[in-house]
Amino acid sequence: MSMKELGVVGRNVGQRDLESHARGQTTYYEDVHYPRMLHLKMHRSAEPHANIVKVDTRKAAASPGVVCVLTHEDLPGKKVWNGLAAVGVGPEDEPVLAFDKVRWRGEPIVAVIAETPEAARAGAAKVEVEYDPLPGVFDVEEAISGSAPALTAHWPHNHYIYPDDHAASQIRFGDVEKGFAEADHIVEDKYQTSPIEQAPMETNGCIAKPGGDGRITVHTNTQAVHFARDNTAAILGLAPGKLRFLGGTVGGGFGGKVDVAVEPISVLAAMRTGRPVKFKYTREEEMQVSSTRSAWRLYIKDGVMNDGRIVARKITSYQDSGAYLRFSSYGSMKHAGHMPGPYTMPNVWVDARVVFTNRPPSSAMRGFGVMAASFAIELQMDKVAKTIGMDPWQLRLLNAYRNGDMRAHRKVNEDAAMVETIQAAARLAGHELPAEYQAMTSWDRKAS
Amino acid sequence: MAKVRGTGFAAVNYPTGMHLGGDPTQSLIHMTPAGDFVCTMASVDLGQGLRTVLAQIAAETLGVPYESIVVETADTDTGPHCTGTFASRTTHRAGNAVVMAAAEARKAMLEVAGELLEASPEDLETDGAGNIHIKGVAEKSVSVGEVAGAAHFGYGKTIAGRGAYLKPPSPMDPETGECDPDSTQAHACTVVEVEVDTETGVVEVIDMKSVYEVGQQVNPDLVKGQIVGGSWMGIGHALYETTAPGYPAIDPAPVDFQNYLQPGAAEMPEVACEVLEYPAESGPYGGKGVGEMVTNGPIPAIVNAINNALDVRITQIPVTPEVVLRALDEKRAQAEG
């Protein structure tokens, strides 16, 4: 369908809520106010790895304004969970509230609910936890070396286990070793990204409000209302119909608001107190408690011909999941499925591993699994170009996938215009391409 | 010591929709007695303009004015299921569900209009301005408002539609990775010029130019908004941002924007972008997703530009002044052999 046949699709009609956002008139979850609303503050682990010897909540419960204190013993349903359990991801590994052990600094242990945010904060500070510290492991390669302590019984070697007992999300296409043997050059490097905060203006939060009809309405800034509702119901052992999840406009997501981090405990607190309960992450919690983008380490080895064709690419990557799984196995599969980037290669080998460490759990962020892949691949492409003395634009155009090509995950490429995009960028940047490179097209590999 | 410049670029692709599919979104559309439409979704607007884009798609399919569409979002009591707003999926998944719901509502609307105009619904067309007329006979016309009134008060009919879009789930073979991961791929190529101060290690992004290929754009200004915002986020990722500056050590641990640095307005270069439109077979009116890919080009392009400027090989982010200075030290040490 060409643009000419379209009416309002393709037109700049303005963003309809832009003025409302700019004037501060948009309603966010926090703009909802209820009388007698309580505030929840979490007491969190001070240790990255320790056995919990004793939790004493007596002083917290007696603190002025404190209405209710919740520990793992108060959980009516699941003690451990994973958001993707309903679609078969598991085993469920993350405590809703820590019980025997803590595995990262910041792990929730006791929820304190009070009349004011200040009283909740003061009460949470009075929770006393006695720890028996354990050695921690923070580096992904150290974690799986065999000499590190196992974080949980679920993952005895500190890495996620994929179906058929695979240690990695794999791609096996062609024969990379044969490709390396035939190649004129071998180009290798190591790449590292960092944990990054989604940094929304509005931090994670919700208000759980009991209704007179036995239902609870949750005003939340989740990126996925049904997902959050169904997971909350599953964690608490409630019929999902008891819950109504209500969003609105969210003040920035970027993947940082899909963890169902605040709703289950707030609903439980509302059920226990019969009053509205608000749980809002501080900026400190948003940065050091809420899932960050995972840090990734990648090793890439390419076999390259003198004419620039990349004939083999082998990638081993380690995704730092932190202490628990969350959505990391999904991210790793997306990462593996993205390889070897927008290029066609006859031989591709990928092992994408999810590794557990005593770091804060990581999870989704804008471009989950793909950002780190694109970062490493595009730095690698420059190294390949430099190694063989080829123009990096020409190297990418030569290897760019065409429609009809078989990709490494064995799907035939379609709808792709990588070649045209690179050519247009070269024009925009004033980089001259030889005639045969200008003549290339995504629809015909022979055109040049 | 000097300020040196370099250029770098990166070419990236990005999948539309959740990896391996299986991520449904549904839509319900109904006409009010006044002749406007409510499109009810459970999808969440994160500020990117989902309500605008879905209203445009609904108006396009219904053939009625954009202004007559209300998009209601994010209520599990009233909104049909949406997997969520992520994975560059909403324009594609929710958009396709809206096309389907709007097509069904349009059919019901034309049936009532056909009764009023004593014509077969197949012989009718909409003018996009609130009227329905017999093809080729503009004066044989009825307004959408009149159709609404007749449907509600004359015929006792609903003018409504249901839509559901699902890319069926594809398993990923655990041995080979064989799968059908995506609905389509969008593409981008970003070119960056940087200036690096070899004394302080500070990197400044001087210029950023990008070409994007995102299928048919539903709203070009909103696409550009993603590209410009993503350029800013990409600069942050490439040069400043980490929650663990001593990674993999957990300390120091920044907890505020004094210690977790992001680019400010002064760090933002002019961002030029050009958008190519190659419609996607599976997309609503040919649309692909653009939401997530917009940091993926800028980050490697910036690091490639730094390496080009300094003739070093930095392979980590963020490229802080310390990383730059260490790379220069290493280069100097190697030169001195």
What is the tens place of the pLDDT at every residue in B233-282?
Answer: 999 999 999 999 999 999 999 999 999 999 999 999 999 999 999 999 99
pLDDT band, residue A3 (cuts 50/70/90): very low
Closest CA to A157 of A135, A137, A133, A134: A137
Q: Are residues B298 and B330 in the same domain?
A: yes
Give the nearest partner residue to A195 out of B211, B225, B242, using CB atoms.
Answer: B242
**pLDDT at position A248, please?**
84
H or E element, residue B163: strand B160-165
Percent of the residues in chain A that have a pLDDT greater than 70, as a whole number: 99
Same domain for B194 and B154, yes or no, is no
Q: Which of A155, A207, A165 minimizes the C-alpha distance to A33?
A: A207
User: In this structure, what token pair is assigned to residue A111?
Assistant: 């929820």
The 3-class SS string of chain A reads CCHHHCCCCCCCCCCCCHHHHHCCCCCCHHHCCCCCCEEEEEEECCCCCEEEEEEECHHHHHCCCEEEEECHHHCCCCCEECCCHHHCCCCCCEECCCCCEECCCCCEEEEEEECCHHHHHHHHHCCEEEEEECCCCCCHHHHCCCCCCCCCCCCCCCECCEHHHECCEEEEECCHHHHHHHCCEEEEEEEECCCECCCCCCCCEEEEEECCCCCEEEEECCCCHHHHHHHHHHHHCCCHHHEEEECCECCCCCCCCCCCCCHHHHHHHHHHHCCCEEEECCHHHHHHCCCEECEEEEEEEEEECCCCCEEEEEEEEEEEEECCCCCHHHHHHHHHHHCCCCECCCCEEEEEEEEECCCCCEECCCCCCHHHHHHHHHHHHHHHHHHHCCCHHHHHHHHECCCCCECCCCCECCCCCHHHHHHHHHHHHCCCCCHHHHCCECCECCCC
Domains: count for chain B? 2
Q: What is the DSSP letter of B293?
A: G
Taking the CA of residue A438 and the nearest CA in chain B, the distance in Å comes to 16
Do both B201 and B273 map to the same domain? Answer: yes
Q: Dihedral of CA B46/B265/A378/A307: which sign?
A: positive
CATH number of A163-196+291-410: 3.30.365.10
Size of interface A-B (CB pairs under 8 A): 366
For residue A408, pLDDT beyond 90: yes
Given a cut of 70, is residue A255 above it in pLDDT?
Answer: yes
Type and span of the H or E element at B238: helix B220-239
B277-294 tens-digit pLDDT: 999 999 999 999 999 999
Taking an 8 Å cut-off on Cβ atoms, the answer to whether B11 and A378 are in contact is yes
Nearest CA in chain A to B86: A255
Whether pLDDT at A229 is above 70: yes
Q: Round to whole Å and give the CA distance between B14 and B6.
A: 26
Decide which of 3.40.50.300, 3.90.1170.50, 3.30.1280.10, 3.40.50.720 is the CATH code for A29-134+198-288: 3.90.1170.50
User: Closest partner residue to A333 among B74, B172, B219, by Cβ?
Assistant: B172
| pLDDT (mean) for A398-410 | 98
Same domain, B245 and B138: no
CB contact under 8 A, B254 and A287: yes
Considering the domain boundaries, does residue B177 fall inside one? no
CB contact under 8 A, B175 and A409: no
Span A102-135, pLDDT tens digits: 999 999 999 999 999 999 999 999 999 999 999 9
For chain B positions 12-31, those within 8 Å of chain A (CB to CB) are 12-15, 19-20, 22
Whether residue A345 contacts residue A301, with contact meaning beta carbons closer than 8 Å, is answered with no
Residue A309 pLDDT greater than 70, yes or no: yes
Q: Are B7 and B48 members of one domain? A: no
Domain closes at, from B108, B136, B165 = B165
* pLDDT score of A40: 99
Same domain? For B150 and B288 the reply is no
Instruction: Examine the domain organization and report whether B237 and B332 are in the same domain.
Output: yes
Nearest-Cα distance to chain B for A343, in Å, is 9
Whether pLDDT at B91 is above 90? yes
pLDDT of residue A2: 45
Q: Are residues B12 and B47 in the same domain?
A: no
Inter-chain residue contact A246 with B250, CB threshold 8 Å: no
- Whether residues B148 and B234 fall in one domain: no
Confidence at residue A1, expressed as pLDDT on a 0 to 100 scale: 41
Which CA distances in Å does A173 have to A426, B106, B114, B152?
A: 31, 47, 57, 60
Helix (H) or strand (E) holding B303: helix B298-310
3-state SS, residue B120: coil
Mean pLDDT of B55-64: 98
Residue B46 included in any domain:
yes
Do B122 and B11 lie in a common domain?
A: no
For chain A, give every residue range classified as CATH 3.90.1170.50.
29-134+198-288
pLDDT tens sequence across B166-202: 999 999 999 999 999 999 999 999 999 999 999 999 9
Q: Please state, in angstroms and rounded to a whole number, the distance separating the CA atoms of residues A241 and A228.
A: 13
In a domain, B197, yes or no: yes
CATH number for position B287 = 3.30.365.10
**What's the average model confidence in pLDDT over A61-85?**
98
Mean pLDDT is lowest, of A84-88, A335-339, B178-182, for: A84-88
| Beta-strand relationship, A277-280 and A38-44 | parallel
- Chain B contacts of A139, Cβ < 8 Å? 248
For residues B189 and B60, state if they share a domain: no
Q: Which domain holds residue B272?
A: 3-16+183-336
On chain B, the residues whose CB falls within 8 A of the CB of A292 are 243
Q: Which of B165, B199, B233 finishes a domain?
A: B165
Q: How confident is the model at residue A5 (pLDDT cuts 50, 70, 90)?
A: confident
ipTM: 0.97
Q: What is the pLDDT of residue A447?
A: 82
What is the residue-averaged pLDDT of chain A?
97
Q: How much is the mean pLDDT over chain B?
A: 97
Question: Do both B12 and B105 map to the same domain?
Answer: no
